[in-house]
Amino acid sequence: MKERRWTGPLEKIDDYRWRIPQSYSPGMRVPGLVFADEKLLADIKTDQSLQQVANVAHLPGIVKVSMAMPDIHWGYGAPIGGVAAFDVESGIVSPGMVGYDQNCGVRLVRTDLTVEDVQPKLRTLIASLFNDIPCGVGMSGDIRISKKDADRVMTQGSRWVISKGYGVAEDAAHTESQGCLDGADPSQVSERAFQRGSDQLGTLGSGNHFLEVQAVETVYDEQAANVLGLHSGHVTVMIHSGSRGFGYQICDDYLDVTERTMAKYGISVPDRQLACAPISSDEGQRYLGAMRCAANYAWSNRQCLMHLARLTFERVFGKSWEQLGMHLVYDVAHNIAKFETHRVEGRDQTVCVHRKGATRAFPPGHPETPEGYREIGQPVIIPGDMGRHSYVLVGTQQAMEESFGSCCHGAGRVMSRSEAVRQAAGRSIEQELERQGIIVMGRGRKGVAEEQPSAYKDVNDVVQVVHNAGLAKRVARMRPIGVIKG
């Protein structure tokens, strides 16, 4: 799709909310709702992501609104930063509304190490992480799985890899859905998808995926930070990766399936990239079974990545990861469809919530929030870019009531990858970041150039909207000190 500025109607509700009226397009079943301020909106309007919000509002069975988080930008079919929920009886499931990298997500690991402890060994640490953790396009890892083991990864998720020595039970307890979605059906996964995933557990991938060593710079909520084990001046590790080629292939397979079968169910969509199938249909159930396999694979992948990072820290600092206090704070998914209970038109209703480039932000007391965090709410992890901050927040009751318990997942791109590479010509992004005290190692200059800080919105602006709109509350802010990328 050629990029064009949004020229459609946008009604201001308040300083952080904007409405695309249902009257904008005759086929819209609900309005659009955009969380942004004036500053972010200027960037959002430069591509067709708002048109995609309106397109999603056409889909059968959608309830309440088609939503956009403040990190929204153009994606395949549906915007990245989009949220939509569908009635389980009349609604659909859409691979494009979930995304190619199913259960791409972020996990945050705290440590007892201070910046002063790490700084003398930082260059060695980053080089060791880069050497120990496979990263880059198509990179394979040392963790190989047979077809029999693959079925267990697909159905048991991170719990199975933990049982094989790649972590401890506490890790699963601090992972969304305990690292496993029920209902995964390996029989709906193609042989090609299995082949692509057979050697990619414990691999970072490329694009915006990263492992980042950070310093806790600012604490906004001391009580919540103490519950999460985050302390000013201490070091954290953030891991961003997903289901790799395995999930990509599953998405590709089912985009074909749903596109071929829409006519069978009398479904028409404004953009064929939003191909979908009724939730209750054979095709819809097949996709959900395969998507859950990809989600479980992604949780297993991030669990293995954390295990490899722990081993590297052990070697560099000469202590066990337990002695270093390397405990998982939380792991959140984005790019996923999940069945949840939400309040719709005054009554509790089970809906299928699609979050594409968006994450859960469940409130205090919610039964799906880990027991140890129920007094503060579910941790929400929002990474920035290599040169700016990342945040930890907690979910709110307002998010539960207004956004299906959802929040944004990052800063959001403002520059295409090709434009970022063009702007990096003649420059060394690595050297520029090193002058800021950030050591970056990537598989190639092009990949680092694509992910330069200026390619993204300022995460501080994005989080300000999230916080002020009441979707999540700030707990702590971290700054990067070392990054590895594909």
Backbone angles phi, psi at 251, to 5 degrees: -60, -45
**Integer-rounded Cα radius of gyration of the chain:** 21
DSSP string, 58-112: TSTTEEEEEEEEEEEE--SSS-EEEEEEEETTT-EE-HHHH-SSTTEEEEEEEEE
What DSSP character marks residue 213?
Answer: E
DSSP string, 270-323: SSGGG--EETTSHHHHHHHHHHHHHHHHHHHHHHHHHHHHHHHHHHHHTS-TTT
**From 174, 234, 409, 467, active-site residue:** 409
d(CA 419, CA 417): 5
Alpha helices in 337-416 (DSSP H): 397-402
- Spatial contact of 10 and 42, defined as CB atoms under 8 Å apart: no
| 58 a catalytic residue | no
Length of the chain equals: 486
What DSSP character marks residue 226?
Answer: H
Tokens of 11: 């009604």
d(CA 235, CA 227): 16
Q: Buried b vs exposed e over 127-144: b needs ≥16 C-beta within 10 Å?
A: bbbbeebbbbeebebebe
Q: Give just the sign of the alpha carbon dihedral 262, 404, 357, 370.
A: negative
- Spatial contact of 462 and 381, defined as CB atoms under 8 Å apart: no
Tokens of 239: 């891991």
Q: Supply the residues annotated as catalytic.
A: 409
